[in-house]
Structure 1
Amino acid sequence: MAYSLLVMKFGGTNMQDARAIRHSASLAARSIREGVRVVVVVSAMAGVTNQLLQLADAAQTGDIARANDEIAAMRTRHFTAAQELGAAPDSPAVREIREMHETLRQAVYGVYLLRELTPRSRDLIVAFGERLSAPLMSLALEQTGLRARHLTGGEAGILTDAHFGNARPLSGTYERIRDRLSGLFAADVTPVIAGFMGETEQGALTTLGRGGTDFSATIVGKALGADEVWAWKDVDGVMSADPRVVKDAQNIGVLSYGEVMELAYFGAKVLHPLAVTPLQESGIPLRVKSAADPDFPGTLVQAQPHEEEGHPVKAVTAIRSVSLVNVSGAGALGVPEVVSSVFAAIARANITLLMVSQSSSMSNVSLAVPSVDEGRTVAALRAGITGELNVEVQGGVAVLAIVGSGMRGQKGVSARLFTALAAEDVNILMISQGSSELNISVALDGAQVDRATEAVHAAFGLGTAVQAAD
């Protein structure tokens, strides 16, 4: 296929050092030299986002020495990469990196003085990862003889609400991006955008949630009407299971938007759960490609499902570190207001629900939430629910899900899932299936999740499923 415009997103492992950045730049340059206009969207260097979160927490607890040590180590890492990419010690790129680290140090010191880390200041701090890697990619592209300019997400036009830590683009974003990037294209300059972030209408920096660089890339792809968005990863594409758990996991050639959203939501780390949402209206495909094998087609994510005869399930995935919160009591029996108050309390606390199950009598509602949110969930429920109800918690749980559009209307899928789990003596704690029939999810003991994943993968023959992307 001949392309005229591609958005290329490079993940953390493809930005982890000078060698990786140089290789990533060469992948973008290859398409540019073929006459394709390319927008590059970059993640932070591998590990830097976690490092930034940790140093922010250290500053909040008063450990400013540790925070400063982490900043110094990051400064050395970015300076080393810049010099290995050909930047002189007094070059604009090195000066910019030095100034950004000083700004980061000041922001962290402010947290230390106040002993307060607000969602807004956390966003400001954590976004330095992408802001620091974008100049390095620009430098690498320029070393290949191309012209490049790096921008923050806000400078590129990504306008969001003020939901710090999990912001969403506003409707005016797409026109802003077109306006701001068109001049660079006209000047034959390749835009390099720091992913994961945007800005509010007041100019405050926001982030789009963990993995949000994928989201940034698809927002830009929609705005520019790209032919495809390419997410370069360190894997061949979206796999039928986590290859660290299932040795014969296969690359999935084609997925629908709905399928990949389910997979991302239920623990597959390849894409941000909302990454495809900007593309759905325009039908722009997303392709997950391997930077180590750029000629391999990877996984094509498109509007229409691609069903393989005999393979109703495409993949099995799992979320670990889950807690089940059970709300029960005679006061809930047949009272809709109780269920309403449960969900209202969860919504007010902004807690992600992974699964929901309710008894037919409404005397019992079970919620699966990330274990990190367990305490907040219990507190929100006890403060917000009506009636005399019991709130009980069970930790150490995992949620396993099978995903595939071929399950719709297919008899026996649930039976195969439950039989495979029973054969491994895995006890099911909770079951959920959406009416779309794109997934069936079960909660089980977290200690059994790897064994369960292997058994279910084998039961649906996914180790031999080969689906080629066009």
Structure 2
Amino acid sequence: MSYSLLVMKFGGTNMGDSAAIRHSASLAGRSIKEGIKVVVVVSAMAGVTNQLLKLADAAQSGDIASANDEIAAMRTRHFTAAQELGAAPDSETVREIREMHETLRQAVYGVYLLRELTPRSRDLIVAFGERLSAPLMSLALEQQGFRAKHVSGGEAGILTDTHFGNARPLPNTYERVKDRLSGFLSAGVTPVVAGFMGETEKGAITTLGRGGTDFSATIVGKALGADEVWAWKDVDGVMSADPRVVRDARNIEVLSYGEVMELAYFGAKVLHPLAVTPLKESGIPLRVKSAADPDFPGTLVKAEAHNESGHPVKAVTAIKNVSLITVTGAGVLGVPEVIASVFTAIARENITLLMVSQSSSMSNVSLAVPSTDAERALIALRTGLAGELNVEEQNNVAVLAIVGSGMRGQRGVSAKLFNALAENGVNVLMISQGSSELNISVAIEGAQVDAATTAVHAAFGLGQAVAAD
């Protein structure tokens, strides 16, 4: 296929050091040399986002010395990368990196003085990762003979709501991005966009949630009407299971938007769960490609499902570190107002619900939430519900899901899943199937999740390549 415009996203591993950045720039350069217009969207250097979160927490707890040590280490790492990419000590890139680290230090010192880390402050601090890596990619492209210009997410036109930490683009984002980036492309300049971030209408920096650089790339792709969005990763594409757990996991050639959203939501860390949402209306495909093997086609994500003979299930995935919270009360939960108050209490705390199940007797409802949110969920439910309701928690749980559009109307899929679990002594704590029939998910004991994933992958023959219909 011939392309005229591609959006390429490079993740943290592909921005890990000067060598990785240089290689990533060369991947973009391959297409630019062919006359294709390219917009590059970058993540922070590998590990930097976690480093920023850590130093922000240290400042909040009063440990400013530790926070400053982390900032100094980050500054050295970025300076070293810039120098290895060819930046002179008095260059614009080095000056910009120095100024951004000073601004970061001031922001962190403000958190230390107040002993308060608000969602707004956290977003300001954590977005420095992408703001610092974008100049390095721009430099690498220029050193390879291409004209490039780096911009922050806000400067690129990504306008969001004020939901700091998990912001969503506003409807006028797409027109703004088109207006701001089209000029660069027309002038033969490759825009390098700092991913993961946007800004509110008042100019406050927001982030799009962990893995949000995928989301940034698809927002840009929709805005510019790209032929495809390419997400460069350190894997061959979307796999049938986590290859670190299942040795014969294989690349999936084609997935639908719905399938990849289910996979991302249920623990496959290849894409942000909302990454394909901007592409659905315009039908722009997304391709997950391997930076180590750029000629391998990877996984194509598009509108239509692509079913394989004998493979109703495409993949098995899992979320670890889950807690089950069960609300019980004899018959009371059948009252609509009580059910509403359960979900209102959870929504007020902005807690992600991974699974929900209610008994047919209406005497209990079970909620699966990330363990990191369990304590907040318990407090919210115990303070927000009537006294006759009991709230209990079970820790060390995992959610395992099978995903595939071929399951729709297919008999025997559930039986095969539960037989595979039973034969391997896996106890099922909770079951859920979406009305779309794209997935069946079960909550199981956390200690059994790797064995269960391997068993289910084998039961559905996912390690064996099958010809497409």
User: TM-score higher than 0.5 here?
Assistant: yes
Which deviations, in whole Å up to 9, do the C-alpha atoms of 1:144-195 show, x marking residues without a partner?
1111000000000000000000000000000000110111112111000000
Equivalent positions of 1:20-419 (< 5 A) are 20-330=20-330, 332-386=332-386, 388-419=388-419
Task: Check whether the contact 2:22–2:85 (CA below 8 A) recurs between aligned residues.
Answer: yes
Letter in 2 for 1:327: V
1:289 CA displacement: 0.1
Q: Distance in 2 between matches of 1:292 and 1:333?
A: 53
**What SS does structure 1 have at the residue aligned with 2:422?**
helix
Deviations 1:301-323 (A, max 9, x none): 00000000000000000000000
- Give aligned pairs, total: 469
Q: Which amino acid aligns with 2:397?
A: V
Stretches of structure 2 lacking an aligned partner (at least 5 in a row): none
Query: SS at the partner of 2:159?
Result: coil
User: Aligned partners of 2:244 and 2:266: how far apart in 1?
Assistant: 17
Match in the other structure for 1:435: 435
Q: Assess if the C-alpha contact under 8 Å between 1:3 and 1:227 holds in 2.
A: yes
What amino acid maps onto 1:43 in structure 2? S
1:159–1:201: structure 2 CA closer, same or farther, 3 Å change rule? same
- 8 Å CA contact 1:161–1:168 kept in 2: the answer is yes
- What's the CA shift for 1:385? 2.1
1:468 to 1:78, Cα distance in 2 relative to 1, 3 A: farther
For the 8 Å contact 2:308–2:466, the answer to whether it is kept is no
Alignment partner, residue 420 of structure 2: 420
Q: Is the 8 A contact 2:307 2:468 kept in 1?
A: no
Q: Which amino acid is the alignment partner of residue 256 of structure 2?
A: S
Contact 1:253–1:468, Cα closer than 8 Å, also in 2: no
Q: TM-score, normalised by structure 2?
A: 0.99
1:467: how far off? 6.3
CA-atom RMSD in angstroms: 1.0
Shift of 1:331: 5.2
Matches of 1:434 and 1:302, distance apart in 2: 21
Identity of aligned residues (%): 84
Residue 456 of structure 1 aligns to which amino acid in structure 2? Answer: V
Q: CA deviation at 1:468?
A: 7.9
Instruction: Give me the TM-score of the superposition, normalised by structure 1.
Output: 0.99
Write the distance in 1 (CA, Å) between the matches of 2:44 and 2:100.
Answer: 14
CA contact (8 A) 2:123 2:206 kept: yes
Hey, what's the Cα distance between the residues in 2 that align with 1:25 and 1:235? 18
What's the CA shift string for 1:409-468, capped at 9, x where partnerless? 000000000000000000000000011100000000000000000000000000113568
* Contact in 2 for aligned 1:251/1:466 (Cα 8 Å): no
Aligned partners of 1:331, 1:206: CA distance in 2, in Å?
43
Cα distance in 1 for partners of 2:180, 2:87 equals 27
The CA distance in 1 between the partners of 2:387 and 2:301, in whole Å, is: 46
- In 1, Cα distance between equivalents of 2:247 and 2:43: 28
Regions of 4+ moved over 2 Å: 465-469
Residue type of the alignment partner of 2:145: G
Amino acid at match of 1:289: K
Q: Structure 1 residue 387: deviation in Å?
A: 5.5
**Residue 82 of structure 1 aligns to a residue in which SS?**
helix
Q: Note the alpha carbon deviations across 1:342-372, whole angstroms, 9 max, x for none.
A: 0111111110000000011211000000000
Distance 2:139 2:327 in 1: 55
Q: 1:316 to 1:467 in 2, by over 3 A?
A: farther
For residue 123 of structure 1, give the secondary structure of its aligned residue in structure 2: helix
Residues 37-95 of structure 1 deviation map (CA, whole Å, 9 limit, x = unaligned): 00000000000000000000000001111111100000000000000000000000000
Corresponding residue SS for 1:156:
coil
Whole-angstrom distance in 1 between the partners of 2:385 and 2:95: 55
1:455 matches 2:466 = no
Q: Is the contact made by 1:120 and 1:206 (CA closer than 8 Å) also made in structure 2?
A: yes
State how far apart, in whole Å, the 2-side matches of 1:209 and 1:298 are: 25
1:331 and 1:387 in contact (8 A); partners too: no
Give the partner amino acid of 2:4.
S
* Counterpart contact for 1:333–1:361, Cα < 8 Å: no
Q: Deviation at 1:334?
A: 2.7
| Structure 1 residue 333, shift from structure 2 partner | 4.7
**Contact 1:259 1:404 (8 Å CA) reproduced:** yes
Structure 1 residue matching 2:393: 3-state secondary structure: strand
CA distance in 1, matches of 2:406, 2:53: 40
SS at the partner of 1:155? coil
Distance 2:313 2:137 in 1: 39
Q: Does the 8 A contact of 1:210 with 1:272 survive in 2?
A: yes
Greater mean alpha carbon deviation, residues 177-186 or residues 365-374: 177-186
